[in-house]
């Protein structure tokens, strides 16, 4: 007997949890789940300790600690010239994950189609399903994972009401350029769509620049912009996130969010408020470090015989396993600990169109250089399968 509600059937355990468990079970190097293996900045950790000791230990206001909401509004203005109301235009959440869920639960009608890019971050599929919507993926294809205007047009239906966009994009590492974003913005304006944008890797760009969709003409009133502290400050376990935008969209997400977790993580919100002023400086330093790690791992994967799709941002690189005589990324990843002592993620887990992603494998490079080097040595031992 299955007790799981119909809308969640097929979601099982996330691929990240599965692959981290595989790494722990086998002792393999974990280049699967995207988390840094070094700690975030000590002064931000100390700010959290100070907030705990200062007695910031009760419920935060439902939409977040005012100092953090102000810090988010200042970040948006300083970095992108975006004006948001720090009071009614910002909602603090448990990571971007809760912001995405709250946005969909608050904005998506059961009959709505939600357009998203594929491969897609796994929580999108689950939260669209929880909201009762239907996902309509637009497939990004290698080698450059660019947005195909025809595929975009083909994914639109009479029921499309929302676009759930992610750039810089996990898992491909693609950073959408202005022309691609303009295609999406034009579609939103023409069809009167609401855009929800996931920009958690906004500071982790190595080539090109991150352009928030909300800055494009006609988008300010229809875009809810989501980000979080985890990637920018290497504090993925803190789960401090936020959504910002026009008050009606923020209020819709807030209505759902108050019944998901209400509010919490109060001391971490105080520390995040303190940290966010340094996001630009810290983000630049981190992006420079990660860019070198990208180069390191890309070179290593090439030396191991894989065809690398070099990312412009994020923590991740995708490699095509076909030069090794293999085409099943899932089988490759499950056998990789035994064959090479390394764990990676089968990118196909993020596709509806399995054929489009079956030969791709995602490796995370947000790891110490010596860990990457050891993984590279191990991967070089891979022998092509005939």
| Contact positions vs ligand GLN (CB under 6 A) | 14, 16, 33-34, 170
Q: CB–CB of 356/327 below 8 Å? A: no
Binding partner of residue 239 among ligand PMP, ligand GLN, none, CB under 5 to 8 Å per kind? ligand PMP
Q: Which residue is nearest to ligand PMP (CB)?
A: 95
> Which does residue 228 touch among ligand GLN, ligand PMP, none (CB within 5 to 8 A, set by kind)?
ligand PMP
Residue closer to ligand GLN, measured from CB, 88 or 122: 122
Phi, psi of 131 (to 5 degrees): -80, -10
Distance CA 248, CA 311 (A): 35
168 DSSP assignment = S
Nearer to ligand GLN, 33 or 63 (CB): 33
Nearest CA to 137 among 123, 156, 150?
156
16 binds, among ligand GLN, ligand PMP, none (CB under 5 to 8 A by kind): ligand GLN
**Using rule CB under 6 A, residue 40 touches ligand PMP:** no
Q: Residue 73's Cα: distance from chain center in Å?
A: 21
Residue 98 Cβ vs ligand GLN, minimum distance, rounded to whole Å: 12
- Binding track over 182-221 against ligand PMP, x by CB under 6 A: ----------------x-x---------------------
d(Cα 213, Cα 217) in Å, to the nearest integer? Answer: 9
Q: With respect to ligand PMP, which residue has the nearer C-beta, 29 or 200?
A: 200
- Structural contact between residues 74 and 83, judged by C-beta atoms closer than 8 angstroms: no
Task: Determine how many CB atoms are found less than 10 A away from the CB of residue 33.
Answer: 20
Binding residue (CB under 6 A) for ligand PMP from 89, 230, 341, 346: 230
Part in contact with ligand PMP (CB under 6 A); list of ranges 89-97, 189-197, 247-255, 270-278: 89-97
Q: Shortest CA distance to 119 belongs to which of 363, 318, 365, 364?
A: 318
Tokens read off for 314: 């994020």
Residues 152 to 181: which contact ligand PMP by CB under 6 A? 166, 170
Rg (C-alpha) for the chain, rounded Å, is 20
Beta carbon nearer to ligand GLN, 76 or 170: 170
Phi, psi for 78 (deg, rounded to 5): -65, -45
Q: What does the DSSP 8-state code read for residue 381?
A: T
318 is a site residue for ligand PMP (CB under 6 A): no
- Residue 166 site contact among ligand GLN, ligand PMP, none (CB < 5 to 8 Å, cut-off depends on kind): ligand PMP
Task: Provide the pairing of β-strand 160-166 with 113-118.
Answer: parallel
- Residue 300 near which of ligand PMP, ligand GLN, none (CB within 5-8 Å, type-dependent): none
Is residue 185 within 8 A of residue 216, CB to CB? The reply is: yes
Nearest residue (CB) to ligand PMP, 69 versus 378:
69
**Could you tell me which stretch among 93-101, 129-137, 157-165, 300-308 binds ligand PMP (CB under 6 A)?**
93-101
Burial of 254 (0-12, 13-18, 19+ CB in 10 A): buried
Q: Which residues make up the interface to ligand PMP (CB under 6 A)?
A: 34, 95-97, 121, 166, 170, 198, 200, 228, 230, 236, 239, 241
């Amino acid at each position: 007997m299955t007790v799981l509600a119909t809308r969640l059937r097929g979601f099982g355990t996330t691929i990240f949890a599965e692959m981290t468990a595989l790494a722990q079970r086998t002792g393999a190097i974990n280049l699967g789940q995207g988390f840094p293996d070094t700690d975030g900045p000590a002064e931000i950790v100390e700010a959290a300790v100070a907030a705990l000791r200062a007695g910031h230990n009760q419920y935060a206001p439902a939409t977040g600690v005012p100092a953090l909401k102000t810090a988010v509004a200042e970040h948006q203005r300083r970095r992108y010239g975006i004006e948001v109301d720090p009071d009614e235009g910002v909602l603090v959440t448990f990571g971007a994950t809760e912001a995405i869920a709250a946005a969909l639960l608050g904005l998506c009608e059961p009959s709505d189609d939600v357009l998203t890019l594929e491969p897609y971050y796994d929580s999108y599929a689950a939260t669209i399903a929880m909201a009762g919507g239907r996902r309509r993926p637009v497939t990004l294809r290698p080698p450059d994972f660019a947005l195909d205007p025809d595929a975009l047009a083909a994914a639109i239906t009479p029921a499309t009401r929302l676009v759930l966009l992610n750039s810089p994009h996990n898992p491909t590492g693609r950073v959408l350029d202005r022309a691609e974003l303009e295609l999406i913005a034009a579609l939103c304006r023409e069809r009167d769509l609401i855009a929800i944008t996931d920009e958690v890797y906004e500071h982790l760009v190595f080539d090109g620049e991150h352009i928030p969709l909300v800055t494009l003409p006609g988008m300010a009133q229809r875009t809810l912009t989501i980000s979080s502290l985890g990637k920018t400050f290497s504090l993925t376990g803190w789960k401090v996130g936020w959504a910002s935008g026009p008050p009606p969209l923020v209020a819709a997400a807030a209505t759902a969010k108050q019944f998901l977790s209400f509010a919490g993580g109060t001391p971490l919100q105080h520390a995040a408020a303190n940290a966010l002023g340094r996001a630009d400086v810290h983000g630049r330093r981190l992006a420079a470090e990660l860019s070198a790690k990208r180069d390191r791992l890309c070179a290593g994967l090439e030396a191991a015989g894989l065809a690398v799709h070099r990312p412009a941002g994020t923590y991740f690189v995708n490699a095509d396993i076909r030069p090794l005589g293999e085409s099943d990324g899932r089988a490759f990843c499950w056998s990789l600990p035994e064959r090479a002592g390394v764990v990676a993620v089968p990118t196909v887990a993020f596709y509806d169109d399995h054929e489009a992603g079956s030969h791709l494998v995602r490796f995370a490079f947000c790891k110490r250089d010596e860990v990457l080097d050891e993984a590279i040595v191990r991967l070089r031992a891979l022998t092509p399968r005939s």
